[in-house]
């Protein structure tokens, strides 16, 4: 295993994100994807955590499997909202004792509750509190989430959202962004952070569009704007899934090349547990495995 802050210092890094599968078929697909993407020798990979702890055991099992049975370094995501300090202590101490060196520390979203359901017990409001607790438990390289187009709950106050991000990054070692489609959104976030004296590496998150409707839904949830010109291009070929994929890969390749040219410290691919689009973008960028 390796500390991601060290990998970034030697950068650029290339990394892939997975989520815990929910069925046997999905589990087999993830296993196949892991094998296919291992061949690209990523700098690290990460595995998401269900908000409120819904994948607590699954996330740990998958990162443990990747670290033990493959050549890849796996970083668990962890969210803190709706968790007690005791929960988080248990989880993070477990990771430390198993030799994990990296954690992506997130706020997470509060569960959607019906009127009848009680608020879950929880000691945390913001990701920064998790960063501080993780720091006190072990010698981890700690990553945090960054939202180039602002967090959906902070759209009204750009300066304040950037202030919170700057404070969080000062306490952490690196950031990984929500996906976005315009390099300028990422670059203006980096400028906003520099104006606040923060130069911690923030790795752009890349979501290749292979299914326009699905990505438009994700974009709505995450506060990213789906550019109207891209939507129109995809709409024109909506009946031809292969053409949608081809355009999605082409657009993502251009975005990746622009970001690397502009000095981004790496690229983090949201794979959705599939390998093809990521492998194609890798090939287009001439990135192949390290020799
Ligand atoms: C790379 C990446 C990976 C992710 N992985 C997961 C995952 O595995 N599981 C999952 O459930 N979700 C995941 N998310 C989504 C994330 O949990 C949500 O976006 C969540 O709503 C906020 O998380 P955060 O870490 O950005 O929170 P925070 O940093 O806590 O920010 C949340 C909001 O609070 C505001 N804020 C921060 N500090 C303060 C303060 N002191 N006072 C007032 N307001 C403040 C911020 O401006 C922002 O609007 C991921 C997001 C990204 C970008």
Residue 144: Cβ within 10 Å count: 24
Q: Reply yes or no on whether the pLDDT at 117 is more than 80.
A: no
How is domain 4-284 classified at the CATH fold level? TIM Barrel (3.20.20)
Alpha carbons 155 and 178: distance in angstroms, whole number: 14
Token pair 């699954």: residue: 58
Contact 179, 222 (CB under 8 A): yes
Q: To which H or E segment does residue 78 belong?
A: strand 74-79
Q: Is the Cβ–Cβ distance between 250 and 222 less than 8 Å?
A: no
Q: Nearest residue CA, atom 30 of ligand 1?
A: 126
**For 158-178, how does the pLDDT look when each residue is reduced to its tens digit (9 = 90+)?**
999 999 999 999 999 999 999
pLDDT (0 to 100) of residue 219: 87
pLDDT in tens, 251-285: 999 999 999 999 999 999 999 999 999 999 999 99
CB atoms within 10 A of CB 171: 18
- Residues with CB under 6 Å of ligand 1 are 48-49, 51, 77, 79, 106-109, 126-128, 145, 151, 153-154, 161, 164, 168, 176-178, 205
Tokens, residue 40:
């690209």
Report pLDDT for 290: 62
pLDDT for residue 38 is more than 90: yes
Torsion over CA: 283, 289, 290, 291 (sign)? negative
- d(CA 190, CA 185) in angstroms, rounded, equals 9
**What's the residue count for the chain?**
291
**Most distant pair of Cα atoms in the chain: their distance:** 58
pLDDT at 120 over 80: no
């Amino acid at each position: 295993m390796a500390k991601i802050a060290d990998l970034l210092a030697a950068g650029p890094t290339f990394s892939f994100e997975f989520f815990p599968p929910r069925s046997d078929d999905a589990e087999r697909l993830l296993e196949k994807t892991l094998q296919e993407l291992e061949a690209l020798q990523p700098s690290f990979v990460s595995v998401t955590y269900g908000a409120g702890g819904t994948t607590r055991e699954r996330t740990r099992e998958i990162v443990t499997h990747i670290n033990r049975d493959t050549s890849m370094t796996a970083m668990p995501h962890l969210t803190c909202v709706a968790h007690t300090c005791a929960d988080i202590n248990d989880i993070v101490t477990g990771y430390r004792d198993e030799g994990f060196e990296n954690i992506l520390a997130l706020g997470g979203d509060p569960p959607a509750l019906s009127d009848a359901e009680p608020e879950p017990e929880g000691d945390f409001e913001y990701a920064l509190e998790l960063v501080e607790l993780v720091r006190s438990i072990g010698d981890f390289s700690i990553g945090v989430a960054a939202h180039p187009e602002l967090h959906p709950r902070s759209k009204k106050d750009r300066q304040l959202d950037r202030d919170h991000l700057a404070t969080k990054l000062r306490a952490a070692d690196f950031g990984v962004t929500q996906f976005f489609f315009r390099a300028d959104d990422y670059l203006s976030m980096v400028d906003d952070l520099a104006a606040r004296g923060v130069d911690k590496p923030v790795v752009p998150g890349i979501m290749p569009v292979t299914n326009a409707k699905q990505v438009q839904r994700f974009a709505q949830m995450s506060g990213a704007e789906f550019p109207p010109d891209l939507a129109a291009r995809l709409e024109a070929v909506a009946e031809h899934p292969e053409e949608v994929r081809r355009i999605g890969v082409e657009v993502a390749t251009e975005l990746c090349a622009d970001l690397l040219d502009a000095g981004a410290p790496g690229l983090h691919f949201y794979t959705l547990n599939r390998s093809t689009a990521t492998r194609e973008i890798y090939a287009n960028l001439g990135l192949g495995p390290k020799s």
